[in-house]
């Protein structure tokens, strides 16, 4: 009986591995098309989460973390950015998220509360960088923002193009008005500006915009919303990912990178477009001494990086949000590159659920409308990092307290 079980497990492991044996056994180069590919027709289901009742949850905390793709331990989520230079089975996480939304495997949302779903047309527009041209005075050509300056406001010009504004709150905050400039809620600023930009893009000609296509290399970070909870039945602290969203280059930074003769991004500009924030160095130039020791991160919390990743001047605004449990079916069949054993890749679902990544907490659910660390500790990256560690230690100590008598 034990021998049969052993053989079954062995065959299962062989079946889900990449076909490296083809490379070793073939005698013709024409037979190399299946190298490093998962066997066709293979279907793998994500491991079901255990059912949890409210009575079994002793305590729980909701946190938001930022995964910086500049960190080497997070490279499996970023690469390959050029999917045509490697075998067809190797694609970055963003590919599967976008493809899953496009193929209606799961929906995309504008927020992490999943109340505002993104339509198909809006989702395609998200993947195009569009920035209104600033225009040049006295050049005899009226383009971009000059139309609003001449009309006196965004609303006046858009109404002249035939747009009928709905009776909604965002309409009262014209981007050129004092009320909009004095709006302190950053989430509302991003939401309202996005809606004004969408109306402008749908009515104004392409000649009024600078445009560029979204590329996989534009993704610089991922935001992961999750719940830490102590299961009374399992008597252990567990993590359950709830939402994930890719943070990409802002439109301004995208064009700065495109126009840079050296090919490197100028990250000093203001946030816009997708609302991304990221470090000054591109991912290709990460110093060797900054490499994370991924093997030593066996504890769940050990994967939370101690690298500063909080910028008070920019928002953590993903291109879109995905309800993670809905995406598990797709991500369990999407494989990341395993540097230590190419024949045994890890699915993205396994990497995320087992927390094989480096991330920093930047917000936790709290009585202050879930404000993030930068709202009460501004312009001090060190103190922001220490506060992030305090939240991490609070959850860790809460688990330890469960074993105190």
> Do 140 and 275 fall within a single domain?
no
Among the listed ranges 43-52, 120-129, 199-208, which one has the minimum average pLDDT value?
Answer: 43-52
Looking at the fold, whether 373 and 296 belong to one and the same domain comes out as yes
Asked if residue 40 belongs to a domain, the reply is: no
pLDDT score recorded for residue 327: 92
Q: Is residue 42 part of a domain?
A: no
The answer to whether residue 23 is domain-embedded is: no
pLDDT above 70 coverage of the chain, percent: 72
Mean pLDDT of the region 169-173:
85
In a domain, 298, yes or no: yes
Confidence at residue 383, expressed as pLDDT on a 0 to 100 scale: 92
Report whether pLDDT(99) > 90. Answer: yes
Together in a domain, 261 and 355: yes
Last residue of a domain, one of 192, 213, 234: 213
Domain boundary among 158, 189, 213: 213
Which residue segment(s) compose the domain that 393 sits in? 59-121+214-401
Residues 255 and 326 in one domain: yes
The pTM of this model reads 0.70
Q: Of 18-32, 160-174, 255-269, 348-362, which range is least confident?
A: 255-269
- Residues 72 and 137 both lie in one domain: no
**Most confident residue range from 143-152, 221-230, 310-319:** 221-230
Residues 392 and 315 reside in one and the same domain: yes
Whether residue 194 is found in the same domain as residue 231: no
Domains of the chain: total: 2
Same-domain status, 209 and 96? no
Residues 200 and 92 in one domain: no
Residue 354 lies in a domain: yes
Looking at the structure, do residues 229 and 328 belong to the same domain, yes or no? Answer: yes
Q: Is residue 12 part of a domain?
A: no
Together in a domain, 134 and 262? no
- Among 213, 236, 268, residue at a domain's last position: 213
220, 181: one domain: no
246 lies in a domain?
Answer: yes
pLDDT of residue 67: 92
Predicted pLDDT at 325: 92
- Does 346 reside within a domain? yes
The three state secondary structure string of the chain is CHHHHHHHHHHHHHHHCCCHHHHHHCCCHHHHHHCCCCCCCCCCCCCCCCCCCHHHEEEEEEEEEEEECCCHHHHHHHCCCCHHHCCCCCCCHHHHHHHHHHCCCCCCECCCCCCCECCHHHHHHHCEEEEECCCCCCCCCCCCCHHHHHHCCHHHHHHHCCCCCCCCHHHHCCCCCHHHHCCCCHHHHHHHHHHHHHHHHHHCCHHHEEEEECCHHHEEEEEEEEEEEEECCCCEEEEEEEEEEEEECCHHHHHHHHHCCCCCCCCCCCCCCCCCCCCCCCHHHCCHHHCCCHHHCCCCHHHECCCCCCCCCCCCCCCCEEEHHHHHHHHCCCEECCCCCCCCCEEHHHHHHCCCCCEEEEEECCCCCCCEHHHHCCCCHHHHHHHHHHHHHHHHHHHHHCCCC
């Amino acid at each position: 009986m034990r021998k049969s079980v052993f053989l079954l497990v062995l065959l299962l492991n062989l079946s889900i591995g990449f076909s490296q044996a083809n490379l070793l056994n073939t005698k013709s180069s024409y037979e190399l098309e299946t190298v490093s590919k998962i066997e066709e027709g293979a279907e793998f289901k994500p491991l079901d989460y255990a059912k949890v009742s409210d009575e079994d949850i002793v305590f729980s905390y909701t946190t938001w973390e930022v995964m910086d793709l500049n960190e080497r331990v997070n490279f499996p989520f970023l690469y390959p950015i050029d999917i045509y230079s490697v075998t067809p089975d190797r694609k970055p996480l963003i590919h599967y998220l976008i493809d899953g939304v496009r193929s209606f495997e799961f929906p995309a949302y504008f927020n992490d509360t999943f109340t505002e779903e993104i339509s198909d047309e809006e989702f395609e527009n998200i993947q195009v960088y569009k920035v209104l041209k600033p225009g040049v005075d006295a050049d005899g050509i009226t383009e971009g923002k000059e139309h609003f300056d001449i009309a006196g406001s965004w609303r006046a010009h858009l109404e002249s193009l035939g747009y009928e504004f709905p009776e909604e709150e965002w309409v009262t905050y014209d981007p050129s008005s004092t009320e909009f400039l004095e709006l302190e809620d950053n989430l509302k600023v991003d939401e309202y500006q996005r809606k004004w930009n969408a109306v402008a893009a749908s009515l104004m000609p392409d000649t009024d915009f600078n445009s560029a296509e979204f590329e996989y290399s534009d993704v610089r970070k991922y935001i992961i919303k999750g719940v830490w909870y102590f299961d009374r039945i399992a008597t252990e602290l567990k993590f359950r990912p709830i939402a994930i969203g890719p943070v990409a280059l802002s439109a301004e930074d995208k064009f700065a990178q495109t126009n840079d003769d050296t090919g490197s991004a100028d990250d000093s500009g203001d946030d816009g477009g997708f609302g991304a924030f990221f470090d000054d160095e591109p991912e290709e130039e990460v110093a060797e001494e900054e490499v994370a020791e991924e093997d030593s991160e066996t504890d769940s919390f050990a994967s939370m990086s101690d690298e500063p990743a909080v910028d008070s001047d920019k928002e953590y605004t993903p291109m879109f949000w995905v309800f993670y449990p809905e995406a598990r079916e797709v991500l369990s069949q999407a494989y990341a590159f395993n540097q230590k054993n190419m024949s045994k890749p890890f699915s993205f679902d396994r990497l995320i659920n087992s927390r094989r990544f480096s991330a920093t907490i930047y917000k936790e659910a709290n009585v202050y409308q879930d404000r993030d660390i930068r709202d009460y500790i501004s312009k001090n990256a060190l103190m922001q990092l220490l506060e992030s560690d305090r939240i991490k230690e609070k959850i860790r100590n809460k688990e330890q307290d469960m074993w105190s008598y």
